[in-house]
Amino acid sequence: MTRQLELRQVSVNYASFTAARDISLNLETGQIGCLLGPSGCGKTTLLRAIAGFEPVAAGEISLHDHLISCPGFRLPSEQRRVGMVFQDFALFPHLNVRGNVGFGLNSLAADARRARIDKMLRLVGLSAQSDRYPHELSGGQQQRVALARALAPDPEILLLDEPFASLDTDLREQLACEVRDLLKANNVTAILVTHDQHEAFAMSDHIALLKDGELIQAGTPYQLYHDPVSEFVAGFVGQGAILRLATGENPELDRALGLNEGEDPVPGERLKLLLRPEDVSYQPGSDLRLPVAARTFRGASYLYALSLPDGQRILCQAPNHVSLAIGDAMPVALVQRRRVTFRN
């Protein structure tokens, strides 16, 4: 595999304000990366630096082993071979689908241009809509036109800035999976910017989670979910509860959590323990019975909030045939495949 994109300790400033600080990131050819994080954490700033719209104050950005940005040097955007898909799709309203997709292909001869547009339309499944104008398309179709337009000039990397944000929630995840399949089938290297972890999980191979301009954790979706380095990551990625415990205070809970086995944690130690909903399972006959404090219907399952004796709550995902009312005692087993604790 070839290294396609490399950010080495990149910082981006707006006047005296540092919006992204010391960010390092690598993507191999064909990988889909994601810049994930809450609003204002610097995702778009980094994407704009990769696209060449913002200069870097420190560090270097390379695309396919060519330096494209460092302090004092910025290869112009139009020479970078990056494709962009924006949140609002930014289609040209006065051009039909063919015109939009062919917009960046003016350097090609007419025949080659036509062939390339046809190929792109087939790729995104819009051959039958090629004469329509953007306002005659659904949101999902407009999104696919934007994708075809960005991919048509065969960019080195595709930058997707919140590309599903203006679509319905249901459509978002479906499209995220479709777009991933399409990019993977064509070995396209891409970076997605989003604040939605479902989108990030559905699309990316590698996630960089940012907060206040800093990289908090980078890894696969699986690593971020199962091995979060901090409470912030655990809370941002996935659901769950962070229990504050002192071992020995509630022997029944300690037993259920397996905390009295071995020396780690030390007896009496205060710790914070991450419990994901799938770590808490409905188990008829279990001695550990916790009252239902709230429940949410999720279709295939219920998400229950259960109260511990000290008032803390944990979440339990149970099949939808397990129907308990608020106040009922639910017998549960706590099955942590891997224990995630945070020290105070």
Question: Does residue 163 bind ligand ATP (CB under 6 A)?
Answer: no
In the complex, the smallest distance separating the C-beta of residue 59 from ligand ATP, rounded to whole angstroms, is 16
From 33-41, 236-244, 302-310, 317-325, give the range in contact with ligand ATP by CB under 6 A.
33-41
Residue 296 identity (one-letter amino acid): T
Q: Between residues 6 and 161, which has the closer beta carbon with respect to ligand ATP? A: 161
In the complex, the smallest distance separating the C-beta of residue 172 from ligand ATP, rounded to whole angstroms, is 15
Strand partners, 315: 305
Query: SS3 helix, strand, coil % of the chain, rounded to 5?
Result: 30, 35, 40
Q: How far apart are CA 263 and CA 266, in angstroms?
A: 5
From 42-50, 91-99, 134-142, 253-261, give the range in contact with ligand ATP by CB under 6 A.
42-50
Contact predicate 208/215, CB 8 Å? yes
Taking residue 181's Cβ as centre, other Cβ atoms within 10 Å add up to 10
Contact predicate 332/306, CB 8 Å? yes
Q: Identify the residue among 4, 11, 31, 45 touching ligand ATP (CB under 6 A).
A: 45
Question: Does residue 42 bind ligand ATP (CB under 6 A)?
Answer: yes
Strand ranges in 89-197 using DSSP code E only, listed in sequence order: 157-161, 190-194
From 39-47, 100-108, 140-148, 327-335, give the range in contact with ligand ATP by CB under 6 A.
39-47
Q: Identify the residue among 30, 40, 140, 235 touching ligand ATP (CB under 6 A).
A: 40
Question: Does residue 39 bind ligand ATP (CB under 6 A)?
Answer: yes
Taking residue 212's Cβ as centre, other Cβ atoms within 10 Å add up to 14
Contact predicate 290/308, CB 8 Å? yes
In the complex, the smallest distance separating the C-beta of residue 193 from ligand ATP, rounded to whole angstroms, is 6
Instruction: State which of positions 214-253 bind ligand ATP (CB under 6 A).
Output: none
Question: Does residue 195 bind ligand ATP (CB under 6 A)?
Answer: yes
Question: Does residue 53 bind ligand ATP (CB under 6 A)?
Answer: no
Q: Between residues 195 and 295, which has the closer beta carbon with respect to ligand ATP? A: 195
Q: Identify the residue among 5, 32, 36, 41 touching ligand ATP (CB under 6 A).
A: 41
Q: Between residues 201 and 302, which has the closer beta carbon with respect to ligand ATP? A: 201
In the complex, the smallest distance separating the C-beta of residue 93 from ligand ATP, rounded to whole angstroms, is 24
Question: Does residue 82 bind ligand ATP (CB under 6 A)?
Answer: no
Q: Between residues 43 and 172, which has the closer beta carbon with respect to ligand ATP? A: 43
Q: Identify the residue among 44, 69, 189, 217 touching ligand ATP (CB under 6 A).
A: 44
Question: Does residue 43 bind ligand ATP (CB under 6 A)?
Answer: yes
Instruction: State which of positions 169-188 bind ligand ATP (CB under 6 A).
Output: none
From 41-49, 260-268, 300-308, 333-341, give the range in contact with ligand ATP by CB under 6 A.
41-49
Question: Does residue 98 bind ligand ATP (CB under 6 A)?
Answer: no
> x-or-dash pattern for ligand ATP, window 13-32, by CB under 6 A?
-x--x-x-------------
Contact predicate 210/10, CB 8 Å? no
Name the region of 226 (left: φ>0; alpha: ψ -120 to 50; beta: rest).
alpha
Q: How far apart are CA 158 and CA 77, in angstroms?
A: 13
Burial pattern 253-291, b for ≥16 Cβ within 10 A else e, equals bbebbebeeeeebeeeeebebbbbbbbbbbeeeeebebe
Angle between helix 110-123 and 139-151 (nearest 10): 140
Q: Between residues 37 and 134, which has the closer beta carbon with respect to ligand ATP? A: 37
Taking residue 220's Cβ as centre, other Cβ atoms within 10 Å add up to 14
Question: Residues 181, 182, 186, 189: is their CA dihedral positive or negative?
Answer: negative
Question: By the criterion CB under 6 A, which residues form the site for ligand ATP?
Answer: 14, 17, 19, 37, 39-45, 195
